[in-house]
Structure 1
Amino acid sequence: MLLFFRLWIISLILTGCSFITDAPLKSSVHSEGGALAAVISNDATISVVSGISQNVTVWDLQKDQVKYHWSHQGEGNNLVVSLAIAYDNSYVVTSDREAFGLWNLASGEPEGFWRIDESNIRDVAVSDQGRGILVGRSNGKVMFFEPVSGRRLEFLGHQEKINSVDISPNGFYALSGGNDYVAYLWDTRNGQVIYKFAHPSRVSKVALDPEGRYAFTADSQKLARIWDVQTGKEISRLSYFERQKIFSSARFSKDGKYLLTGSPTRRIDLWDVQSGEQLQEWRVAPRDGPQPQSAVVYAVGFLSEFSLISESSSGLAEVWPLESNK
């Protein structure tokens, strides 16, 4: 018993992480029966949730009340598995595996639906004012689409299916990662590669800092990096001891000091951007159902200097205490 206690203390010292917090300050049901996907706006004032037992719901997080109910492609079973909110909170993209739609957040009305016939949609992103939509597909192609002009640009740099995409607020720069072990930062105006970020295994998650400072790329094994997008140089690697750590969401803080991530195993983590050090960890409520009980953290956001919020497959929005690292 004494040996176990000593090993436990050593483990805490090595990880440098405090105890996991699993008691939220507040918990709200945003989707009865669980969720298929969710996204939180960059300013954490809006979330959009694709429910298992209902259609897509837009939530006002400040009032914690429903703003809109949306049906992606008419009545029937909801199949929306990808969601994106523009940085300026103007538009939302909803997507199932075969089609994507653009919604105006001011009016709550759809402005168009488009079908992809040749391959499945894997992930989506949208720029300010809905000017450009990024669509990552299973055939390795990433499409940049301008709804107003109808212009389409196909990025052909990847060799295998796309897992994650993100876009800058102005729509000029895209970040994509796929099963070919590579993430690319590229220009949506001409399709030219700006930087190539190589990994030893498939790239499962990418994220851009909206302020134009950083890019986050993570693979399916043990390598998660933060890059300087001005120079293409690596800033840090996230420091953790698990043999495998998958990320399902990522969000940079507005001041650029921190990265907030979610995982498919209930975990939320706060990281120091410059050092890659893990600062805090939380664990969301598991989804109701048979064992093993778990939950995918679909989205995370900074509510204030002292709190953060998450949306997960449990169908819950949970508010968490944030230590005064900031």
Structure 2
Amino acid sequence: MTSVGCNKPITKQESDSIHRYVADNLIDAELSKDAKLAVTLSRTRELSVWNNASKSLLHQWQVEDFDEPTYLVSLSGNNKYLAVTGKHQVSIFDLKSGRLEVSWLAQGFDSSASISSLYLSQSGRRILLGMNEGSVITVDLESNQLSMFQLHDGPVSHVEFLSYGERILSSAYDGHALIWASSNGQVIKDFSLAQRITSISFDEAERRIFIADVLDKHIIADSHSGESISQLSFLGRYRYFRQALFADRGKTLITASSKQKIMSWDLNTGKEKKHWNITVFTAGTTVLDMTINSSGQLMTLSSDGALEIWDY
């Protein structure tokens, strides 16, 4: 057991609040960057948008509203649009009206390729699609332009825009996390690990980056120079990080394991500050997303559909 101070064990922590949105396991979920909205996609393919303050339902769609089963969701940074994908179909909804704005079938370099990751830009007018054959598709709804780049050798597990859309961060099962120019696909920085990458996160300034693979290897580096900034210090031969989030202007890192554990780390020392478990409703529950709310508290959304607030 990790300990602090005079060998005192880290105490069990209770959440400040908990609310379970759906009594079903979730396939995917997302919290808005400002922590005001939550999106849940249940096992029955019921897609819902919630107000986290009032816990009220804002929009909902059922499985029959889509031409194929849905798997991934992404909110625009301004909370105006919601992107949803199946293996091939992309749908964009206007969150003011709840109406479907546009829908199309995505196709990679390989005609049989399917969508493996999704990201909607701050404005909601640009979309990133990672494909399972290693390509990344960028779609601009304003200019009606589509670009496609073959950058990875395996399924793309994460994509996001950086620097107001001028750069893109992508990671994949090939163990590479790439920062590259959205205009021409030129790789600017390549971070690599031996195994497939399971979690990746940037701090608010887009300076510090955390990358972890399916084993216990991880990188905390300066995204410009590529130099290592810190290393997490933990005992045990295996530590799997499913989610990661920088807090306190990059001074703290919060990680979620493949099970129920959340850990808070001091990046100056690399040491764990505290750890605790999310509330479990069903076997195998895990954290699907987390963010920091306006009060400076950690907000987590689990695969059980439970929203919890924590002091980290």
Counterpart residue number, 2:10 = 18
CA distance in 2, matches of 1:41, 1:96: 21
SS in 2 for 1:170: helix
CA distance in 2, matches of 1:110, 1:236: 44
Cα deviation, 1:265-321, whole Å, max 9, x if unaligned, reads 012222234443322222112243xxxx22121011112556321111112112223
Cα deviation for residue 60 of structure 1 reads 1.0
CA distance in 2, matches of 1:17, 1:223: 26
Gaps of 5+ in 2: none
Alpha-carbon RMSD: 2.6
Counterpart residue number, 2:185 = 191
Cα deviation for residue 182 of structure 1 reads 1.1
SS in 2 for 1:129: coil
Amino acid at match of 1:232: G
Q: Does 1:259 align with 2:253?
A: yes
Counterpart residue number, 1:65 = 56
SS in 1 for 2:49: strand
Cα deviation for residue 84 of structure 1 reads 1.9
Aligned partner (choices 32, 40, 44) of residue 41 of structure 1 = 32
CA distance in 2, matches of 1:210, 1:267: 24
Alignment of 1:275-314 (within 5 A): 275-288=269-282, 293-305=283-295, 307-314=297-304
Range that drifts further, 184-193 or 141-150:
141-150
Counterpart residue number, 1:181 = 175
Change in Cα spacing, 1:44 to 1:169, as seen in structure 2 (3 Å) is farther
CA distance in 1, matches of 2:264, 2:231: 13
Counterpart residue number, 1:119 = 113
- Is the Cα–Cα contact under 8 Å of residues 40 and 311 in structure 1 kept in the other structure? yes
Gaps of 5+ in 1: 1-7
Cα deviation, 1:16-66, whole Å, max 9, x if unaligned, reads 972342x32222121122211111111211111111245111111122221
CA distance in 2, matches of 1:60, 1:131: 23
CA distance in 2, matches of 1:116, 1:17: 51
Range that drifts further, 127-136 or 160-169:
160-169
CA distance in 2, matches of 1:73, 1:183: 36
Cα deviation, 1:109-128, whole Å, max 9, x if unaligned, reads 33212223431211111111
The ranges of structure 1 where at least 4 consecutive aligned residues each deviate by more than 6 angstroms after the TM superposition are 14-17
Q: Does 1:319 align with 2:299?
A: no
Cα deviation, 1:151-184, whole Å, max 9, x if unaligned, reads 2222222112222222226222211111222111
Counterpart residue number, 2:99 = 109
Counterpart residue number, 1:132 = 126
CA distance in 2, matches of 1:256, 1:276: 12
Number of residues of Structure 1 aligned to a counterpart in Structure 2 = 307
- The percentage of aligned residue pairs carrying the same residue is 24
Counterpart residue number, 1:270 = 264
SS in 2 for 1:38: strand
Q: Normalising by structure 1, what TM-score?
A: 0.84
Q: Does 1:83 align with 2:73?
A: yes
Amino acid at match of 2:240: I
CA distance in 1, matches of 2:219, 2:9: 19
CA distance in 2, matches of 1:296, 1:251: 15
CA distance in 2, matches of 1:120, 1:88: 27
Amino acid at match of 2:33: N
- Is the Cα–Cα contact under 8 Å of residues 39 and 311 in structure 1 kept in the other structure? yes
Cα deviation, 1:175-212, whole Å, max 9, x if unaligned, reads 11112221111111111111000112222222233432
Change in Cα spacing, 1:106 to 1:163, as seen in structure 2 (3 Å) is same
Higher strand share: 2
